[in-house]
Amino acid sequence: MATWHKAVLAAALGLAVVSVGGLAFAQADAIKARKDGFQVFRTSAGAIKKVVDDNSAPAGAVAPAEAIASQAARQLQHFPAGSDKGDTKAKPEIWANMAQFEGYMKDLEAKATAVAVAGKAGDAAALKTAFGAMGAACGTCHKAFRMD
Ligand code: HEC
Protein backbone atom coordinates (compact mmCIF):
# COMPACT_ATOMS: atom_id res chain seq x y z
CA MET A 1 0.00 0.00 0.00
CA ALA A 2 1.35 3.41 -0.92
CA THR A 3 2.32 5.54 2.02
CA TRP A 4 -0.27 8.16 1.25
CA HIS A 5 -2.92 5.42 1.19
CA LYS A 6 -1.88 4.38 4.68
CA ALA A 7 -2.04 7.98 5.84
CA VAL A 8 -5.54 8.41 4.41
CA LEU A 9 -6.64 5.13 5.98
CA ALA A 10 -5.22 6.11 9.35
CA ALA A 11 -6.90 9.47 9.15
CA ALA A 12 -10.22 7.83 8.24
CA LEU A 13 -9.93 5.37 11.13
CA GLY A 14 -9.03 8.20 13.46
CA LEU A 15 -12.11 10.09 12.39
CA ALA A 16 -14.24 6.98 12.86
CA VAL A 17 -12.99 6.62 16.44
CA VAL A 18 -13.67 10.28 17.13
CA SER A 19 -17.20 10.08 15.75
CA VAL A 20 -18.02 6.93 17.75
CA GLY A 21 -16.80 8.75 20.85
CA GLY A 22 -18.93 11.74 19.90
CA LEU A 23 -21.96 9.50 19.52
CA ALA A 24 -21.47 8.02 22.99
CA PHE A 25 -21.33 11.55 24.36
CA ALA A 26 -24.50 12.50 22.50
CA GLN A 27 -26.26 9.46 23.96
CA ALA A 28 -25.11 10.24 27.49
CA ASP A 29 -26.38 13.80 26.99
CA ALA A 30 -29.73 12.47 25.77
CA ILE A 31 -30.04 10.18 28.80
CA LYS A 32 -29.24 13.08 31.12
CA ALA A 33 -31.69 15.38 29.32
CA ARG A 34 -34.56 12.90 29.47
CA LYS A 35 -33.95 12.20 33.16
CA ASP A 36 -34.11 15.96 33.79
CA GLY A 37 -37.40 15.95 31.88
CA PHE A 38 -38.77 13.07 33.96
CA GLN A 39 -37.79 14.99 37.09
CA VAL A 40 -39.97 17.86 35.81
CA PHE A 41 -42.79 15.30 35.55
CA ARG A 42 -42.13 14.08 39.10
CA THR A 43 -41.94 17.52 40.73
CA SER A 44 -44.97 18.82 38.83
CA ALA A 45 -47.06 15.70 39.55
CA GLY A 46 -46.15 16.14 43.23
CA ALA A 47 -47.36 19.74 43.13
CA ILE A 48 -50.69 18.67 41.60
CA LYS A 49 -51.05 15.87 44.14
CA LYS A 50 -50.64 18.42 46.92
CA VAL A 51 -53.45 20.57 45.51
CA VAL A 52 -55.71 17.49 45.34
CA ASP A 53 -54.75 16.11 48.77
CA ASP A 54 -55.05 19.49 50.51
CA ASN A 55 -58.28 20.24 48.64
CA SER A 56 -56.86 23.66 47.86
CA ALA A 57 -57.87 25.93 44.97
CA PRO A 58 -57.79 23.88 41.70
CA ALA A 59 -56.13 26.82 39.92
CA GLY A 60 -52.92 25.80 41.72
CA ALA A 61 -52.74 22.71 39.51
CA VAL A 62 -52.72 24.63 36.24
CA ALA A 63 -49.03 25.64 36.06
CA PRO A 64 -47.61 22.22 37.01
CA ALA A 65 -50.04 20.45 34.63
CA GLU A 66 -48.98 22.75 31.80
CA ALA A 67 -45.33 22.08 32.68
CA ILE A 68 -45.93 18.35 32.26
CA ALA A 69 -47.79 18.82 28.98
CA SER A 70 -45.07 20.97 27.47
CA GLN A 71 -42.29 18.71 28.75
CA ALA A 72 -44.11 15.69 27.31
CA ALA A 73 -44.14 17.46 23.93
CA ARG A 74 -40.35 17.82 24.12
CA GLN A 75 -39.44 14.54 25.81
CA LEU A 76 -39.36 12.19 22.80
CA GLN A 77 -36.37 13.95 21.21
CA HIS A 78 -34.25 12.64 24.10
CA PHE A 79 -34.66 9.03 22.97
CA PRO A 80 -32.28 8.83 19.98
CA ALA A 81 -31.36 5.41 18.63
CA GLY A 82 -28.59 3.78 20.67
CA SER A 83 -29.48 5.56 23.92
CA ASP A 84 -30.63 2.30 25.49
CA LYS A 85 -26.98 1.87 26.48
CA GLY A 86 -25.49 3.62 29.49
CA ASP A 87 -26.81 4.85 32.81
CA THR A 88 -30.44 4.33 31.93
CA LYS A 89 -33.49 2.35 32.91
CA ALA A 90 -35.07 2.76 29.50
CA LYS A 91 -35.88 -0.69 28.11
CA PRO A 92 -34.55 -1.53 24.63
CA GLU A 93 -38.17 -2.39 23.74
CA ILE A 94 -38.75 1.37 23.34
CA TRP A 95 -36.79 1.48 20.09
CA ALA A 96 -38.46 -1.67 18.78
CA ASN A 97 -41.90 -0.20 19.56
CA MET A 98 -41.32 3.52 19.04
CA ALA A 99 -44.85 4.20 17.73
CA GLN A 100 -46.36 2.76 20.90
CA PHE A 101 -43.90 4.64 23.10
CA GLU A 102 -44.74 7.89 21.29
CA GLY A 103 -48.43 7.11 21.71
CA TYR A 104 -47.99 6.76 25.47
CA MET A 105 -46.14 10.09 25.63
CA LYS A 106 -48.86 11.81 23.56
CA ASP A 107 -51.47 10.28 25.88
CA LEU A 108 -49.67 11.77 28.88
CA GLU A 109 -49.62 15.16 27.15
CA ALA A 110 -53.40 14.94 26.61
CA LYS A 111 -54.04 13.79 30.20
CA ALA A 112 -51.89 16.61 31.62
CA THR A 113 -53.75 19.10 29.44
CA ALA A 114 -57.03 17.76 30.86
CA VAL A 115 -55.68 18.38 34.38
CA ALA A 116 -54.92 21.99 33.41
CA VAL A 117 -58.42 22.40 31.95
CA ALA A 118 -60.05 21.11 35.18
CA GLY A 119 -57.82 23.43 37.21
CA LYS A 120 -58.79 26.42 35.09
CA ALA A 121 -62.46 25.51 35.47
CA GLY A 122 -62.00 25.50 39.25
CA ASP A 123 -63.60 22.05 39.37
CA ALA A 124 -62.03 20.08 42.25
CA ALA A 125 -63.86 16.83 41.49
CA ALA A 126 -62.88 16.93 37.81
CA LEU A 127 -59.32 17.78 38.84
CA LYS A 128 -59.10 14.72 41.05
CA THR A 129 -60.39 12.45 38.28
CA ALA A 130 -58.08 14.01 35.68
CA PHE A 131 -55.11 13.69 38.01
CA GLY A 132 -55.87 10.00 38.53
CA ALA A 133 -55.99 9.46 34.77
CA MET A 134 -52.70 11.32 34.34
CA GLY A 135 -51.01 9.16 36.97
CA ALA A 136 -52.25 6.07 35.17
CA ALA A 137 -50.60 7.36 31.97
CA CYS A 138 -47.25 7.55 33.81
CA GLY A 139 -47.73 4.02 35.14
CA THR A 140 -48.74 2.47 31.84
CA CYS A 141 -45.56 3.60 30.15
CA HIS A 142 -43.31 2.68 33.08
CA LYS A 143 -44.78 -0.81 33.21
CA ALA A 144 -44.07 -1.38 29.53
CA PHE A 145 -40.87 0.55 28.98
CA ARG A 146 -38.97 1.29 32.21
CA MET A 147 -36.83 -1.19 34.12
CA ASP A 148 -37.74 -1.68 37.78
C1 HEC B 1 -43.97 7.35 27.31
C2 HEC B 1 -43.34 6.73 28.46
C3 HEC B 1 -43.30 7.41 29.80
C4 HEC B 1 -44.26 8.22 30.38
C5 HEC B 1 -45.62 8.62 29.83
C6 HEC B 1 -43.73 8.60 31.66
N7 HEC B 1 -42.50 8.04 31.86
FE8 HEC B 1 -41.34 8.29 33.49
N9 HEC B 1 -39.85 7.23 32.57
C10 HEC B 1 -39.95 6.59 31.37
C11 HEC B 1 -38.70 5.94 31.05
C12 HEC B 1 -38.40 5.11 29.81
C13 HEC B 1 -37.82 6.22 32.11
C14 HEC B 1 -36.36 5.78 32.26
C15 HEC B 1 -35.45 6.88 31.69
C16 HEC B 1 -33.97 6.55 31.74
O17 HEC B 1 -33.51 5.98 32.77
O18 HEC B 1 -33.27 6.82 30.75
C19 HEC B 1 -38.58 7.04 33.06
C20 HEC B 1 -38.06 7.56 34.22
C21 HEC B 1 -38.75 8.33 35.13
C22 HEC B 1 -38.19 8.87 36.36
C23 HEC B 1 -36.75 8.69 36.84
C24 HEC B 1 -35.88 9.78 36.22
C25 HEC B 1 -34.42 9.73 36.69
O26 HEC B 1 -33.92 10.78 37.18
O27 HEC B 1 -33.78 8.66 36.57
C28 HEC B 1 -39.21 9.55 36.99
C29 HEC B 1 -39.12 10.29 38.32
C30 HEC B 1 -40.38 9.46 36.14
N31 HEC B 1 -40.07 8.71 35.02
C32 HEC B 1 -41.60 10.03 36.43
C33 HEC B 1 -42.68 10.05 35.57
C34 HEC B 1 -43.94 10.70 35.85
C35 HEC B 1 -44.29 11.39 37.16
C36 HEC B 1 -44.72 10.53 34.76
C37 HEC B 1 -46.10 11.04 34.52
C38 HEC B 1 -46.39 12.42 34.83
C39 HEC B 1 -43.94 9.77 33.80
N40 HEC B 1 -42.72 9.50 34.32
C41 HEC B 1 -44.41 9.41 32.55
C42 HEC B 1 -41.05 6.56 30.56
C43 HEC B 1 -42.21 7.30 30.74
Query: What CATH number is attached to the domain comprising 93?
Result: 1.20.120.10
Averaged pLDDT of the chain: 91
Measured CA to CA in angstroms, residue 103 lies from 99, 109, 140 at distances of: 6, 10, 11
The pTM score is: 0.89
pLDDT given for residue 11 in this prediction: 59
Residues in contact with ligand 1 (CB, 6 Å cut-off): 31, 34-35, 38-39, 41-42, 45, 68, 88-90, 101, 104-105, 108, 137-138, 141-142, 145-146
pLDDT given for residue 61 in this prediction: 98
pLDDT given for residue 94 in this prediction: 98
pLDDT given for residue 144 in this prediction: 98
Q: Are 48 and 124 in contact (CB under 8 A)?
A: no
State the residue range of the domain holding 27. 3-145
Q: Of 120, 37, 48, which Cα lies nearest the Cα of 73?
A: 37
pLDDT given for residue 138 in this prediction: 98
Q: What is the mean pLDDT of residues 90-98?
A: 98
pLDDT given for residue 23 in this prediction: 77
| 12 alpha carbon – ligand 1 mean position (Å) | 39
Element housing 132 (H / E): helix 124-145
Strand-pair partners of 75? none
The structural domain count of the chain equals 1
Which residue, by CA, sits nearest to atom 39 of ligand 1? 138
